[in-house]
Structure formats: C-alpha cells, structure tokens
Amino acid sequence: MNTKVIKIDSDNIDEKSMQEAGDLIAAGELVAFPTETVYGLGGDALDPKAAEKIYKAKGRPSDNPLIVHISKFEDLEYIAKDVPASARKLADKFWPGPLTMIVQKNEKVPYATTGGMETVAIRMPNSKIALDLIRKSGKLIAAPSANTSGRPSPTEAHHVAEDLDGKIAMIVDGGSVGIGIESTIVDLTEKKPMILRPGYITPEMLSEVLGEEVVIDPGIIAADDTKKPKAPGMKYKHYAPKASMILVEGEQSKVINKINELADEKSKDGKKVAVIATEETKSMYRTDVILSIGSRQDEDSIARHLYKILRECDDMDVEAIYSESFKTPRIGNAIMNRLLKAAGHQVIHV
C-alpha cells in the first residue's frame, strides 16, 4: 500500500486535504494523525474491521484495547452504558485534553475495539487537527499510539513513517506534538477512581476536581510481575530501545561520576555508548554520544523529548545507554514510568 503523507498547519487547516483524510477513515482505512500527546493511528472506532486493521498494522496483540477519540461531549453518552457523575466532572475540567476515562461500554462499541472488555476508554484530544479529523470523518476514531508495538511512541510524523510506511493509507503531518507522553488513564468503573497509566494530568489534579481520593493501580508501581496492571497495554515491555539501558539516580555529582565510569568501561569493550543528560549536565560527560533530553528547569521539555531520544539511540545503533533519572516535581512519575520500562527496571542508586 502506498502511504500518502499530507502536511497540515494547525493554525490554517487545509479543508480539502483534511476532508480527504476524514473520508479515508469513513471508508474503513487507517490514518495516522497528531494529538497533543503522541501521534495516533486512527480508524473507525465502531467498525470491527478497522480495529483489526489497526492491530495488524501495529503488530499489536488484539486483547489490548484501543482508546476511542471523540470531538463532542455528547459522544461520551453515545457509547457509554452509563456516565458516572465523576466522568462528567472530569470531562468538564480536562476535555479536550490528555485524559482518558474508562467507563462501561454500550452495545454500539464492538469487542474488537475494546479487546473483548465490557469497558471502553474514551478521550477528547486537545489538538485542532485531531478534532477536525474526527468531525470530518463523521465517525469516532479508535487510535492507539502510531508506532509498531514495542517501539517508542511517535512524537513526529517521520517516526510514524519509520514504523508504518506502506501499511496504512495516510499520515497527517502536523509537526511535533506538544506533550510527548501518552494521556493519563483513569478508570471510573471501580469503587475509587484509579489511575491505570500516569500522564500529564496528575492524581492530585483529578482528586481536586472529584473531591475524593484517587488511587494508583498497584500493578504499575511494582517493578516485577507480582501484580498485573489493569490496563492490558501496561503489561507489555514497551517503549524499548534496542540497546540495554541503565538509569542512575542520586545526588547529581555522584550520578555524573557513576555514569562516566560505567560509560568508560563499556567504551573500552568497544561498545557504542550513549548518555542521556540534561541541558544543565551535558557538558560534564565524555562519551561520543551525549543526548540532552531537556532542562530540569522545564520538566515539560523532558517529557516532550523522551521518545524522540530513545528513537535516536536506535537510529545510531547505540549498544548501551546510561541515563540520569528524572523524578521531577509534577510529572516525574509519568516520565519515570516510561523510562523504567525502557530500562527494564535496571536502576543504580548512588
């Protein structure tokens, strides 16, 4: 299949091109598009055949449910069996935005989309291009991240092309995304609201709006397999670069010394080594490949560059990666959740 790439300026959307993209979705084809979090691989959410195509293109197990993207609040009622008061409150406050809510599904949503589950994940993205695509398609759009299963999520259109060129009908190139890590997932079908995947919207932010405690799925905190995460997708080894990766955490000067020491050893063995540093520390390393992920003064910049940097390591055929640790104040948990997975939970404390 020939994958057509169209460039769209979100401040001046080309109506004709976007309609072409919308028509492809309506015809049951797949279109990758930008959201504010990461690029999504979209298909008609209520068409089981489109869901099957998505799983096939990504090489994703079909028991891993998809998020349904909507463009208007009524669509929540349209596909949910019942809409809990908590969902209304959160939608009012955070939609459109990087929050996915899990509610009971109704009969309109096929099991192919929910991986056989009775619940459905719903999100209204805060991206002009994504919202326009949903409207123009006249459909609801099921969209996982637009990467091959197991690779870092795409934050630029060329990342999508690397993974899916030839496998999907179209890529809408809207430039780099704003946030860079996937949406927060909150499950509203339990007694207490439960975070199944940490993201830009923190438990504290949800708790403030709901006026009740928001718990975190114990399965995503455990470093081992003793507890199973509730979101099927969180159990897979995700976001993995090809190289082995180790995180070093502790006091900054000690971290730098340790990483330099480990990197020297590996380099002596003839291995290609990369260090993931920050704007503040990048000049303190001496390996060939030093990648700055962003500034500690701006934690959003760290989230935004995370996946891009992991992909760069793959592109350069790096064999070992040593990374600083980023327990930043607000979204540090969301960043570390991705990095720990990429590192297979290999952490050295100094």
Q: Which does 231 bind (CB under 5 to 8 A by kind): Mg ion, ligand TXA, none?
A: ligand TXA
Q: Under the criterion CB under 6 A, does residue 62 sit at the interface with ligand TXA?
A: no
Residues 131-170: x/- map of binding to ligand TXA (CB under 6 A)?
------------xxx-------------------------
Residue 136's region, left for phi above 0, alpha for psi from -120 to 50, else beta, is alpha
Instruction: Output the smallest distance, CB 187 to ligand TXA, in A.
Output: 6
Residue 28's region, left for phi above 0, alpha for psi from -120 to 50, else beta, is left
Q: Which does 220 bind (CB under 5 to 8 A by kind): ligand TXA, Mg ion, none?
A: none
Q: Which is nearer to ligand TXA, 40 or 96 (CB)?
A: 40
Residue choice 6, 26, 117, 316 for contact with ligand TXA (CB under 6 A): 117
Q: Under the criterion CB under 6 A, does residue 34 sit at the interface with ligand TXA?
A: no
Cα gap 153→176, rounded to integer Å: 12
Whole-Å CA distances, 342 to 76, 242, 265, 276, 345? 33, 9, 22, 13, 8
Size of residue set near ligand TXA by CB under 6 A: 29
Return the structure tokens found at 9: 């300026």
Cα gap 17→183, rounded to integer Å: 27
Q: Under the criterion CB under 6 A, does residue 114 sit at the interface with ligand TXA?
A: yes
Return the structure tokens found at 316: 């350069």
Residue choice 57, 90, 91, 102 for contact with ligand TXA (CB under 6 A): 102
Residue choice 233, 255, 293, 336 for contact with ligand TXA (CB under 6 A): 233
Chain centroid to Cα 308, Å, comes to: 12
Q: Which is nearer to ligand TXA, 188 or 243 (CB)?
A: 188
Q: Under the criterion CB under 5 A, does residue 37 sit at the interface with Mg ion?
A: no
Instruction: Output the smallest distance, CB 145 to Mg ion, in A.
Output: 3
Q: Under the criterion CB under 6 A, does residue 101 sit at the interface with ligand TXA?
A: no
Q: Which is nearer to Mg ion, 159 or 258 (CB)?
A: 159
Q: Under the criterion CB under 6 A, does residue 121 sit at the interface with ligand TXA?
A: yes
Instruction: Output the smallest distance, CB 203 to Mg ion, in A.
Output: 21
Instruction: Output the smallest distance, CB 189 to ligand TXA, in A.
Output: 8
Instruction: Output the smallest distance, CB 18 to ligand TXA, in A.
Output: 17
Q: Under the criterion CB under 5 A, does residue 145 sit at the interface with Mg ion?
A: yes
Of 12-20, 141-149, 212-220, 262-270, which segment contacts Mg ion by CB under 5 A?
Answer: 141-149
Instruction: Output the smallest distance, CB 27 to Mg ion, in A.
Output: 25
Interface residues with Mg ion (CB under 5 A) are: 145
Interface residues with ligand TXA (CB under 6 A) are: 35, 37-38, 40, 64-67, 100, 102, 114, 117, 119-121, 123, 125, 143-145, 182-183, 185, 196, 230-234
